[in-house]
Structures are given as C-alpha cells and as structure tokens.
Amino acid sequence: MKFKTFAAFVGPSVFLMLLFIAAPLISVFVQGFYLTQPIYETVEVETCTPGFPTQTCVTETKTQPVIGEDGKIITETKYVGLESYRNLLEPDRALTALGNWDWGSLLTIDFWKALRFTLTFTLVTLPLVIGLGLAIAVVVNNTARLIRGPVIFVSLLPFIITPVIGALSIRWLFIGDGIMTAFLEWWLQRDIAMFAQGWTIELLMMFYRVWHVAPFAFVVFYAGLQTVNQDTLESAVIDGASRWERLRYVVIPHLMPLIIFIALIHLMDTYRAFEEIVGFSSQAYRISLQWLTYDLLVPDDSGNRAISRASASAMLTMIGIVILLVPLLRRTWRDHRGGSH
Amino acid sequence: MIFKKLALAGAMALLSSAAYADCAFENTVPVKSISAGFEAWKAVTDAMAECGNVEAELDQEFRKKQPAAFAANPSLYQIGGVANGTLVPLLNEGTIRPLDDLVAAHGQNLTPNQLIKIDGEVMAVAMMVNTQHLMYRDDILSDLGIAVPTTYDEVLAAAAKIKEAGVVEYPLGGTFKTGWNLGEEFVNMYFGFADSMFADDSMPTINNENGVAALEMLKKLTEYMDPEYLVSDSTYVQQQFQQGKIAIANLWASRAGAMNDESESQVVGKVKMASAPAAKAGGRPASTIWWDGVVIAKNITDEEAEAAFKVAMEGLDEEMVTANNDIAVWLIPGYVPGDLAKGAADTAINGAVSYPASSQMGLMHTALGNGVADFLTGAKDAQTTLADIEAEYITAAKEAGLIQ
C-alpha cells in the first residue's frame, strides 16, 4: 500500500485517539503536578439565619475567596511536584507500617486500603470468570441443538443488565431483611447481617462481578469451541482420551488465545471496579481505587474538590493496570513473534 | 405525522392543566429551578409551576450541579434551592444576587425571620427549618414506664430497657450511613460537647476529649442499632420506624410526616417528637439546625430575576403551606405548628446551634464522613481516628488554599 493511502486510512483514527485518549491522559498527568487555589481573604461577616422565635445573627470571621473584576474567583496555579502523590500514598506512614509488619495500620491509609481491595477483587474474580465462562460454554455446546438458542439467551441475561442496576438488585436481595437474607436466616436458623462487616460485602461484590461478567467469557469461549478441529477430537477419542483429557489437551490449548483475551479485558475492567462500591454502598468497609478518584473529584457541600489528588489517583490507577497487564501482554507478544516465523 | 399530532395534543393538555391554576399572575418568562428532591421542595415547586412556564428540577444530588450551573453566563437556572451548607459555594463564587429590591417590591408576605442576611444584604429567602430531633414510639415508652429521654445517657438507658423487653427488633435507629450522613451525626454530637471545630487560623481542633466523647457516644448508640447501621440513611431509618422495627431515633424533622402516612406506615399516631437529646446533662441538644430556602441567580437579566422571584414567592405563599402543613416545619406565615413540629421547635428553643456552614466545614464534614466509620468498626481507636481525620482535613484544606 502506498504510504499516502495508508495515512489517509489511518489518519482520522490516529487523530481521534490523540484527541480523546492521549490529550486527556496528558492533561490528567500534568494536573497531578499542579495545584489551583483561590486566593482567600478573611473578613468579618454578620450572618442572620432563622431561629425560634426570632432571627439569630452572629458576627464571625470568615475565610472567603477574593472575587476579581470579571466576577470570577481569582485563582493561582502553582507547581507542587509530587506533593499530591505524597498526600495520596502517605509514604512515611506506609513505610513505618510496612517496617513493623503492621498490615492493619497500612490499611488505614485510604490508598492502600483501596489497592488491597482492588487487587484481591481483580485476582480472585479472574479465575472464577474464566472457569465459569468455560464451564457454561462446554455445557451449552453439549446440550441438544433444539434448546441451545434459549439456553444461550438466558445465560447472556446478566451481561445485558446495566452494572449499577445489577449491583443494586443484589444489594436489595440481601440488605436488612431482604428476601435472600430472610431465606438464609430461616435455613441456618441464625441472625444474619450481610452488610454489617466487610468480608460478607466483599464476597457479595465478587459474586456479583462473576455473575455479571461470566456470560461475556461464555460467549467468547462458545464461539471458540465451534472452531475446535473435529478431526483432532475424533483421533483423541480413538486414542482413548477421556472427556476431561480431551478438554485439557485439545480444547483448552486451542482456546488459549481467547483465554488470554478474556483475562486482559477482565483485568482492565475489574481494576476499575466502581459500580460495586456505589451499588453496595460499601464505603465504610471496602473502597476501590476508581472510587477513591471519584470521591476526591466530587465537590462537597461547600464546593471544594481535590482535583490534583484525584489526578494523581487516576494516574496511579492507570499505572497499576499497566503493571497487571505486562505479563499477559508479553506472552501475547511472544506468541505473535513466534507465530510469524 | 400522527405521532407528531399526538405529541402536540399531549403537550397542550399538560400545559393547560398545569398552568395558571392558582397563581396570582400569569408568568410569561421561562423560569427553571434546581433544588433537593424531598417532599417540601416538591410542594413548593408544584405551587410555583401553577404560574406557568416553570420547569423544576428536583434532585437529591443537586449540590454537585448547582455551583457550576449558576457560574455559567447566563445561568442555567434562575431559581436555586439551597440549605446552610449549599449556600456557601454560591456566596463564595458570587453567583447569586442580593434580593433586597425584590423583597421590597414583591416580598410583602415574608416575615423578617425568613430573610437570610449576609452583612445586611438579603441573599436568600428561607422557607423551612430542618433538624435532627428525637422521634420515639410513645406506646412503647409508656408501656415500659420510660420517661422521654432528654440526654443521650437516658437514651442509652431507655434502649437497654427496650432491648430487655424485646418489643422491637432494634431499640435505636440512626442515620449512620458512611459519608455525609455519618459526618452529620458526628457534627451533631460534637456540638453537644463543644463550641467549635476550628481554631482561628482554620486549623482543626477536634482531637480532644470532646471529640473522643462524641465518638464514644456514637459507638455506644450503635450497639443498640441494626448491625448494618453504616449503610442506613434517612429513608432507611424512616422505613424502620414505619415498619415498627425501632423505637427511638434522632431523625430529620422533614421525615416526621411520613410516620403518619397511612399508606406506608404501620405505626400511625404512635410516633411522637421531642427535642434532640443533650450530649451531657444540662448541655444543649446535640443537633444542628438547618434551613432550606431559595436564591436567585446573578447571571440572568433583571427581568428574569423579577419573574423568578415572583414565581418563588408564589411557591412560598400561605396557600401552599395550608395545603401541606405537616410535611415540614415551615417559616412561612399561615403555618400551624402541629404535634409533628414540636421536636424541631423544642430543639431550637433548647439552644441547638445552627449548622456552622463554611468552606472549612465542608472539608471537615467530608473528612468526618469518611473517617468516623473506622472507629465504629473498630479498625482504629478514638485518638487515631480523630488524628487521621484532622490530617485528612489539613491535607484537603492546604490543597484548597485555606491553610498556608
């Protein structure tokens, strides 16, 4: 292909990627090093508010931003280097805690607490999603052709549900005396409160994520199963391979690229866990990195928000994903190079 | 084509039924409002809509949109619904206008108590007060011979008795959901023990015996609550009351009406209101007083501002209050304080402080909301919890430029 034609084809998509992916990333990266603050002045202000039976007025010194000629708050932006990262990571405290092998006090720092949960959540759900997806795919592949359509449709349903709605539904099943909690209480003959401690919420969140994502793995694996070489399978049968051996030595090696693909997508998605935290309102016990970024960005009652720290948190989340993906990407790269020889 | 006609007919029907019903004037200037979404705001905005050309947005998360929407030029909304806290960013950014002229021209029905004055200028018009006060099951307390608690120690004693009698699932309820709700619980309790959370230079001063006392009292209360208290918000506590699962809670006055809502509540007429309990004997009620009211945007034309103010006055008139007397503690003339308002009124008369909204308080509230849970779950002791909250506040305040 001529370079000109190539450029004409690729140009628009490169431009859009630069505009919508690279530019925001760079902007977030830069914002992590700067701090924009209003300039404040202290003034005596008399404030009158409703009271019983008459108004109460108090005079107090208030810190309020200076408003410029144009009616906007005057702000100044200064370079703070890695301070936002330091505020987020609290390296001194974290190192002291690590030095004393004091796991508990490390986890009282928001970032490390979020990292701990995010990593566990990601790494525990990964094998479950792949295993369950594969199991459903194999089962569906072996069901009678007649009912296969409806079975596929039903298996896909959890994936179609909007994540937050799905999380809320599970929460309502279990919160307080929800149907499921009531059932468990009746079954086990004991009082159960699923939302009163961290680990039960964490289990529910993992259950929800696996339930939600496994259908995606299933569909991909099911498509893969249709391309398994039937001759190889038949010769394996003739060689006396059991069902398990056929799965282990013929089907799974054939599906390996798909398994890696699912693992990549799952790691990227799950590391950004957010819906679960909001849906299960687990903030008191479990927070994720993405939720931490969100929490820093949300303005409080008085309109304050920590944009610089939020940028730092977002960058750290991205770095975390990249680190997790490296082993898988290296493998794909190796396979790719090996295949081209 | 048919669809278009149908849509048009539908729109016309809506317009003619909603507009010009009971409004004193016909509004021709399009007016939009944004406010919280609870019952009282619904009543007020419905009354405003009677004037025509009013579009009301009711959103419990309005605080996240309001400052940016009002900073736009022209402002995206003419009328804003605010409370003590949410007024701060609008004042700081100067995006709302002084209302003195408009009050003089169209505010003849307002009482002086309604006018929120900052340095002598009217910046907002209050319509109701809201506060967390004691709600209790009168039948249970009188059956067990318990006097209405006036301090938190008495609340604990009452809770112990109720638990022993086993008449309800959990003796106490509380709006302890992590985040804003839990922060508010600590603020309420803390002001029962102390006067201020800050030193003069904006530095925090909560890591002291008052802070520890407040934390410990909160923890003692949770022992009598549903163990899932860290996810329980106002609506959850309201439902616990309505379903007869709890006997005592310190709950928002704006939720009192729901106790007697026959379509939802199984305890109609059984829940009574009283002043918020004091944190220590002889102290003031451990609660803060909030008001809700309206502001008018600055970045709009004077004509729009006048129309918006007139519409707002129509929403805050006597007619609206008479029709919705029991859903809030109104400040508007024509309000007849009923039994449900007793708790809020007594809390104020007993000297509860007004919520001390400021930029610093906004940061502190967030730090508290995220930090207090660690003490309640037992992850940290009281000193560490308070020290961490102070540290989080200082980091945030430095970033915001409030502390150098």
Residue B12 within any structural domain of the chain: no
Does residue B344 have a pLDDT over 80? yes
In Å, what is the CA distance from A126 to each residue of A132, A147, A217, A320?
10, 29, 11, 16
CA distance A198 to B228: 11
* Pair (B362, B330) in one structural domain: no
Could you name the CATH architecture of A103-340?
Orthogonal Bundle (1.10)
Residues B159 and B226 in one domain: yes
Nearest-by-Cβ selection for B399 from A48, A110, A306: A306
pLDDT at B11: 47
**Are B116 and A298 inside 8 Å of each other by CB?**
no
pLDDT digits (tens, 9 = 90+) for B30-57: 999 999 988 899 999 999 999 989 999 9
Which residues of chain A are within 8 Å of residue B357 when distances are taken between CB atoms? 301-302
Closest Cβ–Cβ partner in B114, B231, B348 for A52: B348
Tokens matching residue B65: 């949109």
Mutate to test the interface with A, among B122, B180, B335, B366 (most CBs of A within 10 A): B366
Query: Which ipTM score applies to this complex?
Result: 0.80
Confidence band for B21, pLDDT divided at 50, 70 and 90 = low
B254 and B279 share a domain?
A: yes
Does position A318 have pLDDT exceeding 50, yes or no? yes
pLDDT of residue B76: 95
Residues of chain A positioned with their CB less than 8 A from the CB of B244: none
**pLDDT of res. A128:** 96
The Cα of A55 is separated from the nearest Cα of chain B by a number of Å equal to 5
- Kindly report the CA angle at B215 between B213 and B216, in degrees rounded to 5? 65
State the DSSP H helix or E strand holding residue A135, giving kind and residue range, or none if neither.
helix A110-142
Q: Which amino acid is at B161?
A: K
Residues of chain A contacting residue B119, judged by C-beta atoms under 8 Å apart:
45-46
Helix (H, G, I), strand (E, B) or coil at B247: coil
Contact A198 B92 (CB under 8 A): no
Contacts of B145 (CB under 8 A, 6+ apart): none
Give the residue extent of every domain in chain A: 1-31, 103-340
- A195 CA: distance to closest CA in chain B (Å): 5
Q: How far is B402 from chain A (nearest CA, A)?
A: 7
Chain B residues with CB-CB distance to A281 below 8 A: 177-178, 231
**Of B197, B178, B198, the residue nearest B188 (C-alpha):** B197
Residue B257: how many other CB atoms lie within 10 Å: 19
Classify the phi-psi angles of B215: left when phi > 0, otherwise alpha if psi is within -120 to 50, otherwise beta. Answer: alpha
**From the list A38, A57, A198, which residue is nearest B401 (CB)?**
A38
Residue B128, H or E segment: strand B121-137
| Mean local confidence (pLDDT), B349-365 | 90
Contacts of A295 in chain B (CB under 8 A): 370
Q: Cβ of B370 and A72 within 8 Å?
A: no
| Neighbouring residues of B61: CB distance < 8 A, sequence distance ≥ 6 | none
Among residues B341, B365, B383, the one where a domain terminates is: B341
CATH classification of the domain holding B262: 3.40.190.10
With an 8 Å Cβ cutoff, is B202 touching chain A? yes
The neighbour count for residue A220, using CB atoms within 10 Å, is 19
**H/E element, B292:** strand B288-296
Residues B135 and B216 in one domain: yes
Q: B381 and B232 in one domain?
A: yes
Mean pLDDT of chain A, nearest integer: 89
DSSP characters over B24-42: SS---S-EEEEE--SHHHH
Residue B254 included in any domain: yes
pLDDT of A176 reads 78
* B176 plus B275 within the same structural domain: yes
Interface test with B, best of A302, A307, A313 (most B CBs within 10 A): A302
Residues of chain B contacting A65 with CB distance shorter than 8 Å: 92-93
- Please, what is the average pLDDT of chain B? 89
Least confident of B14-28, B285-299, B345-359: B14-28
pLDDT greater at residue B302 or residue A61: B302
Closest by alpha carbon to B308, among B76, B110, B72, B15? B76
**Amino acid A233: pLDDT:** 86
Report the pLDDT averaged over residues A284-299.
Answer: 91
Structure tokens at B267: 């305890």
Contact A302 B291 (CB under 8 A): no
- Per-residue burial over B205-228, b if 16 or more Cβ lie within 10 Å, else e, is ebbeebbbbbbebbeebbebbbeb
Is residue B146 located within the same domain as residue B246? Answer: yes
Phi, psi of B268 (to 5 degrees): -55, 130
The two most distant CA atoms of chain B are separated, in Å, by: 73
Residues in chain B within 8 Å Cβ distance of A61? 200
B-chain residues within 8 Å CB-CB of A301? 63, 85-86, 88-89, 180, 357, 361-362, 365
The residue of chain A with its CA nearest to that of B354 is A49
Instruction: Based on the fold, state whether residues B189 and B283 are members of the same structural domain.
Output: yes
* Same domain, yes or no: B96 and B142: no
Task: Classify strands B288-296 and B115-118 as parallel, antiparallel or unpaired.
Answer: unpaired
Nearest CA-CA distance, residue B383 and chain A, Å? 14
Domain membership of residue B2 (yes or no) is: no
**pLDDT band at B85; cut points 50, 70, 90:** confident
pLDDT 10s digits, A165-182: 888 888 889 887 788 888
Sequence-ordered alpha helix ranges (H) in B126-266: 138-143, 152-165, 180-193, 209-222, 234-242
> What predicted TM-score, i.e. pTM, was given to this entire model?
0.85
- Indicate whether A341 pLDDT > 50: no
The average pLDDT across B336-343 equals: 86
In chain B, what residues touch A57 (CB-CB under 8 Å)? 117
- Let me know if residue B284 belongs to a domain: yes
Q: Which residues 296-325 of chain A have a CB within 8 Å of chain B?
A: 298-304, 306, 308-309
Domain count along chain B: 2
Distance CA A273, CA A266 (A): 11
* B105 in any annotated domain: yes
- Under DSSP, the state recorded for B144 is T
Pair (B110, B155) in one structural domain: no
CB contact under 8 A, A108 and B227: no
- From the list B97, B83, B163, the residue with the least C-alpha distance to B130 is B83
What distance in Å separates the CA atoms of residue A31 and residue A15, rounded to the nearest whole number?
Answer: 23
What average pLDDT does range B315-338 have in this prediction? 89
Question: Which pLDDT belongs to residue A51?
Answer: 77
Report which of residues A303 and A115 the model is more confident about: A115
pLDDT at position B10, please? 47
pLDDT above 50: residue B1: no
DSSP B56: E
3-state secondary structure of A57: strand
- Final residue before a domain boundary, out of B305, B324, B341: B341
The H or E element spanning position B315 is helix B302-315
The parent domain of residue B75 ranges over 20-128+290-341
Q: What is the pLDDT of residue B12?
A: 45
Does B161 reside within a domain?
yes
Closest residue to B228, CB basis, from A49, A53, A175: A175
Q: Tell whether B56 and B105 lie within a shared domain.
A: yes
What CA–CA distances, in Å, run from A163 to A205, A209, A321, B236?
A: 12, 9, 21, 23
Residue B366, domain member (yes or no):
yes
Single-letter amino acid code for the residue at B34: I
Contacts of B291 in chain A (CB under 8 A): 49-50
Please tell me the predicted confidence (pLDDT) of residue A339: 57
* Same domain membership, residue B369 and residue B245: yes
User: Is A43 in a helix, a strand, or coil?
Assistant: strand
What residues contact B213, with CB distance under 8 A and at least 6 apart? B193, B279, B280
Task: Please state, in angstroms and rounded to a whole number, the distance separating the CA atoms of residues B367 and A170.
Answer: 29
Question: pLDDT tens across A207-227, in order?
Answer: 999 999 999 999 999 999 999
Count the Cβ atoms, other than its own, within 10 Å of residue B1. Answer: 5
Whether chain A has a CB inside 8 Å of the CB on B5: the answer is no
Give me the pLDDT at residue B237, please: 94
**φ/ψ of residue B204, rounded to 5:** -75, 150
Instruction: Say whether pLDDT at B162 is over 50.
Output: yes
